[in-house]
Amino acid sequence: MVLGIAFLTIGVLIKEAYILHDTVTGSMILEETIEKARYSKDRSGNLKQYEQDGEKLGSPRLWLGNYDLDLRINERAIEGKAEAGKWALHMERKLFQPAAFLRRTEALLEMGYDQNGN
């Protein structure tokens, strides 16, 4: 009876470890794919290619099954949704705009330093 309980406990722990592995790596693949699409020069042109690459990295999941990835771009952000079995995750990141960053940096440099050197 004790061995039966021990084996059942070990089996449940292994199953939970597989589920944890699938969810963590699935979210990391989604974030990596979003960042690749976010920083690319031609965002909309390669979107399907990024989705296919992400699905290839994510499939098959050890426990949750096939990995499905969907990316969308609007005016201000890129959104990604990943699904595998009953698990689903949605992420959104603002689009990378280097011109805005450079303008803000230049404005700060033009303002100069205050009396404390800041």
pLDDT digits (tens, 9 = 90+) for 49-65: 888 888 888 877 778 88
- Whether 61 is covered by a domain: the verdict is yes
- Whether 72 is covered by a domain: the verdict is yes
- Whether 27 is covered by a domain: the verdict is yes
- Whether 10 is covered by a domain: the verdict is yes
pTM, two decimal places: 0.74
Q: What is the pLDDT of residues 56-104, one digit of tens each?
A: 888 777 788 888 899 998 888 899 999 988 889 999 998 877 787 788 8
Total of domains in the chain: 1
- Does residue 3 have a pLDDT over 90? yes
- Whether 116 is covered by a domain: the verdict is no
- Whether 117 is covered by a domain: the verdict is no
- Whether 12 is covered by a domain: the verdict is yes
- Whether 118 is covered by a domain: the verdict is no
Domain of residue 60, residue span: 2-111
Q: What is the pLDDT of residues 29-41, one digit of tens each?
A: 999 999 888 887 7
* Rounded Cα–Cα distance for residues 82 and 43 (Å): 19
